[in-house]
Structure 1
Amino acid sequence: MTLPAPSRVGRPQAAASNEYDNGPFTFRPATKDGHNASVAIQGPSGSGKTWTGLCVASGLAEGQRFAVIDTERGAAALYVNDLSASFDTLPMHRYDPRDLQKALAAAAQRRYPVVMVDSLSHFWSGTDGTLDQVENAKSKYGGNKFAGWKDGTPIQNAMIEALMSYPGHVVVTMRSYTDWVLEKGQPVNKGTRVEQRRGIEFEFGVAAEMDKSNQLRFIKSRCPAFRGREFDRPDGARDIAKPYLDWLRDGAKPIDPAVWINAANSPEATPDSLLALYREVEAASALATPLLHPDTGKPISLGDRIKERGTALKAASAA
C-alpha cells in the first residue's frame, strides 16, 4: 500500500476580529473628557425616588427634553405638570434585560441627553427579568437553577454595560426592602437591600438611598461634594445635578459619540480607519455604547458595529 505524499496544511487564519480584540495595552494621560453622570437612587415605595430622580434628570438635561424608560405604570408621567422640564416616556410591559438594551439604543438614536430608568428593579425580578431568564434556562441543565446563571449572568452584564455606556447622562431608580435574617431563631433586621443584583449600586458614579420620610443619604460617590452628605427632601436639580456636572466638567472636554457613530457608518471608511476608530472608542471605554443597526434596526454596540464593518471591508478587499 502506497501512502499519498504528505501535504502541507497551513495554519487556519485567526479570526478577523482578533486584530480588534487583541490590541496593545497602551497607557494614556488620565482625563475626565467625555465622562457622563450616572446616578442610582434606591428606596422603598413612597420614599420619593421617582420624583427625586426626575428632578436630577431635569437638572442634568439643562433645559433639554429627556427620556424616561417607565416600568412603574406611568408613575413618572404623573409629575409632568409639576416639573419645570419636558420629557418623553417609553412604557415597558415586559422586562427582559435585552429589551432595556433596545430601549437605550432607541434613546441614543433620538440623542436624548439624559435617560432615566424608573425602575431598574423590574429588569431583575419582573416578568422576563434576569431571575426569570435564569429560571427558564435551568431546563437546559437538568433543572439545575445554579447552572441557569450561565445564561442569566451574561444577559445581566450586557444590560449593565449598555446602561453605563449610554452616550449621555443616566439616572435609575431601584426598589429596596428591609432585609430580615433569622439568627438563633429570631428575625434580625439587617437594614435595607436593593431589589437588583447585589452590589449593583457600586456600578454608578453616585448612589443614594431614600427612606419613607424622604431623607436621602449617599452610600457611594465618586464626586467629593456628596461624600457623607444627607438631604431632607432634596432638590435633585440643585442639590445633586448641578454639583455633579460642575465636578465632571472641571478641566474636561465634551465628547460627542455621534462623531464615532458617523465614522463607523461612513461610506469612506476603510479597514485601517475602522481599526483606528475602534482603538479610540476603546480608550474612551465606550465600546458598549448602544445604537440601532442602520440596516436591521436591531440594537448593536458601537464596538461590534465598528468590528462588523471593518471585518466586512477587509474581506471584500481580499476577494
Structure 2
Amino acid sequence: MNQLPPPVRRAQTQQGTTADEYDDGPIVFRPASKDGQKARLSIQGPSGCGKTWTGLSISGGLAEGERFAVIDTERNAATLYVNDLPVEFDHFPMRRYNPRGLIKALAAAAQAGYPVVMIDSLTHFWKGAEGTLDQVSQVADSKYSGNTFAAWKDGGEIQDDMIEALMSFPGHVVATMRASEKWVLEKGSKTPVSKGLLAEQRKGIEFEFGVAAEMDEANRLRFIKSRCPSFRGLVLNQPDGARDIAKPYLDWLRSGAKEIDTSAWIDAAGTEDATPQSLLALYREVEAASALATPLMHPQTGQPTSLGAYIKERGTALKNAQQ
C-alpha cells in the first residue's frame, strides 16, 4: 500500500475567502537567506535501536536548556528516560492516530511556545488506529464503494496537511519512525540483497526533513540525507545527540541568519486596529517567509488552524464588513 502518487502541495484555503486577492499574489524574488530556519530531523530504525533516547538527547540540545514537548505514541516510552538524560520535557500521550490529531497537538505546542517538539513516533499516524491508511480504508467504504485508489484523493490531502503542519511548526522538529530492513531479489540472483531500512510511513517521507538518519540495533546512526554539510556521509557510533548532532546543526542554521518570531505575526493578525489592507500585507510577508502553514489554535474557536488561514479569514471578514 506504499505505492502512492507523490504528495501534491495545495494552497491553504478557507471557506468564504477571496481566492483571487490572497492566492493570486505577485511573484516577487528576494535575496536568499536562512533567516528563521529551524531544525527538521527524522530518525528511523527498528525496535530497540535507540531512536527515542537519541531523539530526546537531540531535542534537549536543540532546546538549549528550555523544556520541550514530546508527542508520544509509543505507550509513554519517552517517560522511561526521565532522570536518565539531562533534559526536561513535557509529555502528551496519544492513543488514536488521526493525522488531524497531530495537527491539533502541534498547534497546541506552538501556542505554548515550546522551542522543540519531538514526535515519537510518526509511524502511528500512517498505519495506526485512525492513521492515514485507516482513513483511506474508511473513506473508500463510505464514499467510493470500496475503491481504495479513489479514496487516496481524500487520504492524500489528510497526509499532506499533516506534513505541512509538521514542517511549518515555529520551533525545531525531531521525529522518529519505525523501520524494517528492505530485501530485494536482483535480476539473475536467488539471494536477497539488503537495500537498507524502509521507514514505516509514506514512501519518501524522510526526504521532507532537512536531516534524515537511520539507526541499527548496534546504536549506530547513519545520515541518509542532510542539507547540513557537517552530516553528509557521516556515521556515528552511539552518538551523543546534544553534542554530536544538535550543536553542529544549530551552528549551521544560525550562521549568517537571524531568528524570526512567529508570535509577532499572530499578534498582528489579531490586533483590533487591523485593516483589510494591513492583513493582506501581513499575509504577503508570512507567505514570503514560507510560514502560511504555521499551526496555531484559533483565538476565537480554540480549534487548530494555520496562520495563513487565520489572517485570510480576518482580512476577508473585515473587508466584507466594510461593504
Q: What interval of TM-score do these two structures reach, taking the shorter chain for normalisation?
A: over 0.9
Conservation of the 8 A alpha-carbon contact between 2:219 and 2:237:
yes
Residue identity opposite 2:149 in structure 1 = F
Match of 2:25 among 23, 26, 30: 23
Q: Does 1:91 align with 2:93?
A: yes
Distance in 1 (CA, whole Å) between partners of 2:17 and 2:148 is 34
Residue identity opposite 2:108 in structure 1 = A
Conservation of the 8 A alpha-carbon contact between 2:17 and 2:316:
no
Conservation of the 8 A alpha-carbon contact between 1:17 and 1:311:
no
Determine the structure 2 residue equivalent to 1:200: 205
Q: Does 1:101 align with 2:106?
A: no
Distance in 1 (CA, whole Å) between partners of 2:17 and 2:104 is 28
Which blocks of at least 5 consecutive residues in structure 1 are unaligned?
A: 1-13
Q: State the secondary structure of the residue aligned to 1:234.
A: coil
The 5-angstrom pairing of residues 47-86 of structure 1 reads 47-86=49-88
Q: CA deviation at 1:80?
A: 0.9
Distance in 2 (CA, whole Å) between partners of 1:56 and 1:186 is 38
Conservation of the 8 A alpha-carbon contact between 1:178 and 1:192:
yes
Q: Percent identity?
A: 70
Deviates more, 1:173-182 or 1:286-295: 173-182
Residue identity opposite 2:39 in structure 1 = A
- The alignment's TM-score, normalised by the length of structure 1, stands at 0.93
Q: CA deviation at 1:185?
A: 7.5
Change beyond 3 A, Cα 1:185–1:293: same
Q: Deviations over 1:62-113 (max 9, x none)?
A: 0000000000000001101111121000000000000000000000010000
Determine the structure 2 residue equivalent to 1:7: none
Over the aligned positions, Cα root-mean-square deviation in angstroms equals 1.4
Runs of 4+ with >3 A deviation: 180-190
Match of 1:212 among 210, 213, 217: 217
Conservation of the 8 A alpha-carbon contact between 1:97 and 1:130:
yes
Determine the structure 2 residue equivalent to 1:304: 309
Change beyond 3 A, Cα 1:231–1:80: same
Conservation of the 8 A alpha-carbon contact between 1:17 and 1:307:
no
Match of 1:316 among 306, 315, 321: 321
Distance in 1 (CA, whole Å) between partners of 2:212 and 2:18 is 40
Q: CA deviation at 1:191?
A: 2.8
Change beyond 3 A, Cα 1:61–1:268: same
Q: Deviations over 1:107-149 (max 9, x none)?
A: 0010000000000000000000000011111121121111110
Match of 1:172 among 172, 175, 184: 175
Q: State the secondary structure of the residue aligned to 1:167.
A: coil
Match of 2:40 among 27, 33, 38: 38
Conservation of the 8 A alpha-carbon contact between 2:108 and 2:296:
yes
Conservation of the 8 A alpha-carbon contact between 2:279 and 2:312:
yes
Q: CA deviation at 1:178?
A: 1.8
Determine the structure 2 residue equivalent to 1:4: none
**Aligned residue-pair number:** 305
Conservation of the 8 A alpha-carbon contact between 1:264 and 1:306:
yes
Match of 1:247 among 229, 249, 252: 252
Deviates more, 1:14-23 or 1:250-259: 14-23
Q: CA deviation at 1:17?
A: 3.2
Distance in 2 (CA, whole Å) between partners of 1:85 and 1:57 is 8
Distance in 1 (CA, whole Å) between partners of 2:245 and 2:281 is 37
Q: Deviations over 1:188-227 (max 9, x none)?
A: 5433210000100011010000000000000000000000
Q: State the secondary structure of the residue aligned to 2:265.
A: helix
Determine the structure 2 residue equivalent to 1:264: 269
- The alignment's TM-score, normalised by the length of structure 2, stands at 0.92
Residue identity opposite 1:114 in structure 2 = V
